[in-house]
Amino acid sequence: MFEKLKALEDKFNEINEKLMQPETVNNTSLYTSLMKEYKTLTPIVEKFGEYKKAKAANDEAIELLDAGGMDKDFKEMVQMQLEESKEDMAKLEEELKLLLLPKDPNDERNVIIEIRGGAGGEEAALFAGSLYRMYSMYAASKGWTIEVMNANETELGGYKEITFSVSGEGAYSRLKYESGVHRVQRVPETESQGRVHTSTVTVAVLPEADEVELDLNEEKDLKIDVFRSSGAGGQHINKTSSAIRITHLPTGMVVECQDERSQFKNKEKALKVLRSRLLDQKVQAQNKEIADNRRSQVGTGDRSERIRTYNYPEGRISDHRIGLTIYRLEQVLNGALDEIIDALATAMGIPFLVDIEKTNLDILDALVPEASTSMQRDIWAGKPSEIDGLLYEPLRLGEQYGVEMPNYEMIVKVLKEKYGE
């Protein structure tokens, strides 16, 4: 591992020198390529630097102890340095192992997101609109840009389906966890008796493909139809055949775009969506852990399939893949997705550039003694709390899949003995 780290450090220094050279600065494509590689290597090289400092402190302490001749106080100080440096080295070595794990090659790509109403009719379409708004606000908070590719609006302002692109650094690395069935439980606007309904929306997140990656033969592979647009847009949209439907003959995949008034722009957008779908299909075919077609990414839209549930009466969001439950529904729907995405990324072994554990402990240390957590306040107020998601939901999942969870069982037993059911 350390030979590899040394080689990466040498490469980093070499790239750094090249970035300073005038011929590199004047070559836009070369500069962009080197800068991308520089950013990728930076966290690894910085962490390796920390490791080397800890090792130097460790070596120095060993050398001093081996030499002897120290008074008691100084010896204790050196022994303390030795223990601390050992702990630092072990921790940094684990962090370096994570940083050296192969990264998803699509992480730095822009994305195309497709949202479709599933089970639930008009209510599903309205929630599709809520999810589009949530992703739009999340993108804005990251400084990313959104462009609608195609939208099929309903009379009540929802979407039967909407396709849009998200452009910005690391867009796919964050949004890729959103693929799947999103279930909503709430009283629909159209419900007169106040009953809670369950509806579903499917979300597909596709890495945007470059033209050079998927060269489409327009004459052999594509059937392109033009038709009159429908929906909002004034007189022009219904009088001109500007909408485009592209059928990819080898796969039968169909893409429509009618968002622009220009036939050329609609064709350009439709081709972009088609390339991204084909790239997604290609990537998934290569990865046996993921299904080999788009449909498996989003399921059938049936109510029983879901990755996440949005429960409006309780103000609760539950991500069923990792047993996470939080009671901040309004904030999440307003774009505060980082807490969920960070938890998913951590559960899947993806390293972060900050020490999340240390950061949170520092926050707790800075609180005044009389401060309380949101979970405490919820319990005192008799409201639902995260305990269900943190303890009971993982236990239920463990029982469902036959996984033994002795530590969870012990914690629940202690809590019940002390506080009752």
Asked whether residue 394 carries a pLDDT value surpassing 50, the answer given is yes
CA distance linking residue 253 with residue 267, whole number of Å: 15
**Average pLDDT over every residue of 101-128:** 84
Asked whether residue 233 carries a pLDDT value surpassing 60, the answer given is no
Contacts of 328 (CB under 8 A, 6+ apart): 315, 317, 336, 339
Asked whether residue 367 carries a pLDDT value surpassing 80, the answer given is no
Q: How confident is the model at residue 145 (pLDDT cuts 50, 70, 90)?
A: very high
Q: Which 8-state DSSP code applies to residue 388?
A: I
More confident residue, 191 or 265: 265
Q: In the prediction, which pLDDT does 287 show?
A: 53
Q: How confident is the model at residue 2 (pLDDT cuts 50, 70, 90)?
A: confident
Helices 28-67/2-19 angle, 10° precision: 130
Tens of pLDDT along 218-228? 778 888 888 87
Structure tokens at 314: 């309780």
Q: How confident is the model at residue 212 (pLDDT cuts 50, 70, 90)?
A: very low
CATH 2.40.10 fits 2-99, yes or no: no
Residue 151 gets the label, from left (phi > 0), alpha (psi -120 to 50) or beta, of beta
Q: In the prediction, which pLDDT does 296 show?
A: 44
CA distance linking residue 19 with residue 13, whole number of Å: 10
Q: In the prediction, which pLDDT does 298 show?
A: 44
Average pLDDT for the chain: 80
Q: How confident is the model at residue 299 (pLDDT cuts 50, 70, 90)?
A: very low
Q: Which 8-state DSSP code applies to residue 178?
A: G
Q: In the prediction, which pLDDT does 404 show?
A: 75
Query: Which range has the worst mean pLDDT, 27-31, 131-135, 169-173, 259-263?
Result: 259-263
Question: How are beta strands 180-186 and 197-207 bridged, if at all?
Answer: antiparallel
Tens of pLDDT along 42-81? 988 999 999 999 999 898 888 888 888 888 888 888 889 8
**β-pair partners for 196:** none
CA distance linking residue 119 with residue 117, whole number of Å: 7
Nearest to 116 by CA among 188, 198, 181, 197: 181
Asked whether residue 170 carries a pLDDT value surpassing 90, the answer given is no
Q: What is the CA radius of gyration of the chain?
A: 27
pTM of the model as a whole: 0.54
Q: In the prediction, which pLDDT does 256 show?
A: 85
Asked whether residue 290 carries a pLDDT value surpassing 50, the answer given is no
What stretch(es) of the chain map to CATH 3.30.70.1660?
111-211+281-298
Q: How confident is the model at residue 284 (pLDDT cuts 50, 70, 90)?
A: low
Tens of pLDDT along 376-389? 776 777 776 667 66
Q: How confident is the model at residue 332 (pLDDT cuts 50, 70, 90)?
A: very high
Asked whether residue 407 carries a pLDDT value surpassing 70, the answer given is yes
In the block, residue with structure tokens 């303390």: 80
Residues 323, 347 contacting (CB under 8 angstroms): no
In percent, the amount of the chain with pLDDT more than 70 equals: 79
Asked whether residue 291 carries a pLDDT value surpassing 60, the answer given is no
**Average pLDDT over every residue of 14-21:** 90
Q: How confident is the model at residue 358 (pLDDT cuts 50, 70, 90)?
A: low
Estimate to the nearest angstrom the gap between the alpha carbon of 378 and the chain centroid.
Answer: 28
In percent, the amount of the chain with pLDDT more than 90 equals: 19
φ, ψ for residue 368, nearest 5 deg: -75, 155
Question: How are beta strands 324-326 and 316-319 bridged, if at all?
Answer: antiparallel
Residues 257, 270 contacting (CB under 8 angstroms): yes
Residue 93 gets the label, from left (phi > 0), alpha (psi -120 to 50) or beta, of alpha
**Strand order across the beta sheet in which 197-207 lies:** 145-153, 159-167, 111-117, 197-207, 180-186, 308-311, 316-319, 324-326
φ, ψ for residue 164, nearest 5 deg: -150, 155
**Average pLDDT over every residue of 118-136:** 91
**Average pLDDT over every residue of 84-108:** 80
Q: In the prediction, which pLDDT does 43 show?
A: 87
- Mean pLDDT comparison of 24-28, 230-234, 370-374, highest-scoring range: 24-28
Q: In the prediction, which pLDDT does 146 show?
A: 92
Nearest to 6 by CA among 42, 45, 38, 39: 45
More confident residue, 96 or 319: 319
Give the number of other Cβ atoms within 10 Å of residue 231's Cβ. 13
What stretch(es) of the chain map to CATH 1.20.58?
2-99
More confident residue, 408 or 128: 128
Where in 239-307 does DSSP place strands (E)?
243-248, 253-257
Q: In the prediction, which pLDDT does 140 show?
A: 92
**β-pair partners for 150:** 163
Fold exhibited by the domain 111-211+281-298: Alpha-Beta Plaits (3.30.70)
